[in-house]
Amino acid sequence: MQGEFFNVSKNQLFVLMLLLLFVTIAIPFNLINPSPSAAAQELTREMTNWDMINYNQYGTGNNPQSIINTENAADLQMKWVFPYPPSSYPKINGAIKTYAGSGSPALIVDGITYSATNQRALLAIDAETGKLIWNEVVNYDNDETIKQYPHVKGMLPHTHAVNYYDDKGIIIPSFQSCQIDGHDSLVGDVVFQVLELCGTEEEAKAWGNNGYYASIGTHPPQFFEDIMVVPVMGSSGNGGRSFIAGYDVSDMDNPTRVWQTFLVPPSEGDPEWALHECDKGWFFSFPEWQESGRLAVPCGEVQSDCLDCLMNDWINPKSSRGYLHTASTIATIWGHYLIDQETGIVYLGTGESGPYPNAARRPGVNLYGSSIVALDSRTGEFVWWYQSLPHDMWDYDCSWNAVLGEVNGKKAIFKGCKNGFLYALDAATGEPFWIFNPPSLWQPQPGMAYPDPKNLDDLTREWPTSHVGELNFLSANYAGQLEADIAYDNNRIYVGSYNMPVMVSSPEFPNDFGNQLVMTPTNHPTNSTIYAIDSNTGEIIWEFFIDGAGFRGGLTVSGGVLYIPSGDGYLYLLNSETGELILKKAFGTGLWTQITIGADASDNMKVFVQTGGQSIASWGPTGIPGALIALGLPDETAISNELVVAAPADPAAPADPAAPGEERIVEVEVEKIVETETIKTQTIISPLSYLMIIISFIILVISATLFVTSGNWKFGS
């Protein structure tokens, strides 16, 4: 019987084999190649955590997880809400203003969410439940600070960022009161401090300072080996000799400053200030870019063609003794800066040249304001510099995040500046690979905004329209045209630009201190455009238009989804490859803070949204405390309409991990707050499908083996 069964012809066996093969591959293709899901990706620490404001040290804003992806992102629903109460947060004694809520993106570290409030409370929240674990408040006293340090300007309660340092186990918010406070990530205690970053009054005078340092500080520091790098900047329009400092932190209990690189001349002036590092620098010349597409002018060329353009930089022409105007400085660095851990080079985007918009007392290119600078973190020496806007009169700084990536296999620094340009620079030399200027930007009189580094008349202009005899002028935008963090996924750079025009008037004779300008609305439309740019070429891949709102904050890309928090109160989710809208979700108040993504202790991936916390009136309503909201995919079990709202404890009270904030359950109709443009579903593989595949392959192998051993496979048999 057995012999008769297998005594078949070659053609019959071929037919049998083809039939079995067809049955195998006829199983729906999406069953054996599903969209990424929770079961399809093994999570690593890089996927579960969001350590720094822009995800990692290199500022990419890109979590490589794919559990939340283009196929299921439309299903995101609220898991919990942690509200920031309007009155229980402490007010810093003597602070200039009081801002509620948080303007800092949330961190996610090993199942804990960290949020830094504008009033300097650092909160640790269970990422799974939304319950408060601990809170820690550093009690600053502005009145005491300016009494002890009269060269320091008053505090502004505004926390822009917070970073976690894995090798040290500490969390550091952007600094206040000229000091760094590092918190133990598990209990919240301050375990690392650097005091007197702005020096004593005597030290500051010895540095050539004749103005005020900014009490509100930069983004948290970065570390390379045993060196901590931190900028100490002047107060915009109030002076202060800005510098970058390097601290030896081999002994964390006794950090010591080992180098100091100044970014503006000493108060007594330095006629050759712009010549000292001229061989390492580049200028962006808007006129030459507009006429010929030129990306950069070497400083040496400016020195040859117009030496007077570089001499006496920053020196007050009203002074007969070569002094700087006391209000002249480079303002605070807001953005994430980074250190290449292979080379030790630190890359920073600097603040604007101040005061503005009247620059009557600070002629010249004003190095190194509104620039991108690269320093050796071991020594503080310049590697290169690129000034995006010489003689900045418009607050067009480069103070948002820098990203370390690649252009055609070469290391590159991607940097957006508020003049509306996105720069891709060679990380080793600073020479541009390409420059992108969004075509959506409204520039009614661009010549007023972009002086030519080779034109002495431009560099001595007192205010943007003084060359036409006017004091009133139209600003293309209130404070820039690109004022948000960019994101990078190794193929594309994502950048948001905006139009928020106002009429600006400037006094003919400015005061000694401050930035004097008055803004009134115009009739030109307010809007934003999000672009995906090819990181190798700088060409547009797609664009997405948002009407009626300016874009400020930051972009996030993860799992093929681009997250856009918008001032119109919506969170937009786009397919990062095509720009197609996946989801449009309303939150009832403007969103001005970057989205972050990480996992709770049970490896459930979540999207974290900060609402409220706004502190700049021109961007929307201020004084709204808002909340931290966690979004996640639906549970495998039945979806509930119950939303967990954690009532936070008073942050002024001592932390009590054993008695976290109370939890209350409220009924929420999720459908009413979600507007979905496109909803996509996720296919789950049935275990039976796997069994069918395995059995089919076994039969196929057995049949092929018997066919070969029968001898009937030979041609001509």
Percent of residues, the chain, with pLDDT higher than 90:
60
At 411 the three-state DSSP class reads strand
For residue 332, give the nearest of 515, 457, 525 by alpha carbon.
Answer: 515
Q: Which long-range contacts (CB under 8 A, 24 or more apart) does 404-409 make?
A: 404/58, 404/59, 404/60, 404/338, 404/340, 404/347, 405/58, 405/60, 405/488, 405/490, 405/493, 405/535, 406/490, 406/535, 407/433, 407/434, 407/535, 407/536, 408/433, 408/536
* pLDDT for the residue numbered 652: 45
Please give the C-alpha separations between residue 407 and each of 344, 412, 490, 492, in angstroms, as whole numbers. 20, 6, 9, 10
* pLDDT for the residue numbered 464: 78
* pLDDT for the residue numbered 246: 98
Q: Which long-range contacts (CB under 8 A, 24 or more apart) does 56-60 make?
A: 57/222, 57/338, 57/339, 57/341, 58/338, 58/403, 58/404, 58/405, 59/336, 59/338, 59/401, 59/402, 59/403, 59/404, 59/485, 59/488, 60/403, 60/404, 60/405, 60/487, 60/488, 60/489
* pLDDT for the residue numbered 501: 82
Strand runs labelled E in 308-359: 329-330, 338-339, 345-349, 353-354
What is the number of other CB atoms lying within 10 angstroms of the CB of residue 132?
24
For residue 137, give the nearest of 657, 660, 662, 650 by alpha carbon.
Answer: 650
Mean pLDDT value of segment 576-600:
95
Tokens of 598: 């990480």
149 contacts 201 by C-beta, under 8 angstroms:
yes
Q: What share of the chain is helix, strand, coil (3-state, %, to 5)?
A: 15, 30, 55
Top pLDDT among 177 and 196 is at 196
Q: What does the pLDDT look like over 603-647, one tens digit per residue?
A: 999 999 999 887 666 666 667 889 999 999 998 633 334 455 655
586 contacts 96 by C-beta, under 8 angstroms:
no
* pLDDT for the residue numbered 448: 64
Segment among 155-159, 175-179, 255-259, 401-405 with least mean pLDDT? 155-159
35 contacts 69 by C-beta, under 8 angstroms:
yes
- With cut-offs at 50, 70 and 90, classify the pLDDT of residue 473: low
Ordered DSSP codes for 531-548: EEEETTT--EEEEEEEES
229 contacts 346 by C-beta, under 8 angstroms:
yes
CA end-to-end span of the chain: 22
Cross-strand bridge partners of residue 202: none
* pLDDT for the residue numbered 616: 65
Segment among 60-64, 407-411, 503-507, 547-551 with least mean pLDDT? 503-507
For residue 577, give the nearest of 643, 494, 483 by alpha carbon.
Answer: 494
* pLDDT for the residue numbered 175: 87
For residue 607, give the nearest of 39, 71, 127, 114 by alpha carbon.
Answer: 127
In the predicted model, is pLDDT for residue 88 greater than 90? no
Top pLDDT among 409 and 474 is at 409
Segment among 214-228, 469-483, 501-515 with least mean pLDDT? 469-483
* pLDDT for the residue numbered 681: 33
Q: Round the average pLDDT of the chain to a whole number and report it.
A: 83
- Give the span between the Cα atoms of 104 and 121, in whole angstroms: 12
> Quick one: which H or E segment has residue 526?
none
Please give the C-alpha separations between residue 243 and each of 246, 361, 504, 673, in angstroms, as whole numbers. 10, 21, 30, 47
Residue with tokens 């560099």: 459
254: exposed, middle or buried (Cβ count in 10 Å: 0-12, 13-18, 19+): exposed
* pLDDT for the residue numbered 297: 98
In the predicted model, is pLDDT for residue 467 greater than 80? no
CB under 8 Å to 649, separation ≥6 — which residues?
132, 135, 656, 660, 661
* C-alpha 221: how far from chain center: 15
Mean pLDDT value of segment 162-184:
94
- Give the span between the Cα atoms of 183 and 688, in whole angstroms: 51
Residue type, 336: H
Tokens of 494: 């994502």
Segment among 393-397, 487-491, 571-575 with least mean pLDDT? 393-397
The pTM of this model reads 0.85
